[in-house]
Amino acid sequence: MYALVVRPPFALRTSAAEADPTLGPLLPPPFLSSRHTLVVSLTQDGVTYLHSKNIIHRDLKPENVLYRTPPGSHPDVGHDDLVLSDFGLAAYVERNGGRLYTVAGSAGYSAPEMYPEEGVVNGQGQGRGYGLKADVWSLGIIGASFFRSPGSSHRLH
């Protein structure tokens, strides 16, 4: 798997990355520590960098935010070493408000504008489309998921 390395200063660089199964889930709910806030902040930094290059990820979810090293193993740097992964659905968005119409990503994390009232035909939304802000919705769902109780089946949107 290839991933975007997320650490300041930001440089678009890919490297081989694998989730380490011994580390356990990225962020088990419920929200209990400042580590969760740090993960959302670092993920937001990575998304901000992608958006500065007009790239939309379109599949942001906890499974696509990986630790490259065990949490807390970089006290000298002051933050954990995270990567955004799975760029298979990523796309370039035209500058100045470009729109995409292909329904993509994981339904529980996808922005509502990907599923327009006008319907979807052959994987293409028939509405006004979506832009970079769709990733911001997904990031919000990731953050909100920290407030769910273990075993909760509540939909967040």
Report how far residue 73's alpha carbon sits from residue 29's, in angstroms, rounded to the nearest whole number.
22
Residue 103 · residue 118 · CB < 8 Å: no
Q: How far apart are CA 35 and CA 111, in angstroms?
A: 25
Residues designated catalytic: 59
Return the C-alpha torsion angle 63, 68, 72, 76, nearest 10. Answer: -140
The closest of 84, 133, 126 to 111, measured between CA atoms, is: 133
Judge contact between 92 and 55, C-beta under 8 A. Answer: yes
Q: Is 145 left (phi over 0), alpha (psi -120 to 50) or beta?
A: alpha
The edge-to-edge listing of strands for the beta sheet with 82-85 is 14-16, 2-6, 82-85, 65-67
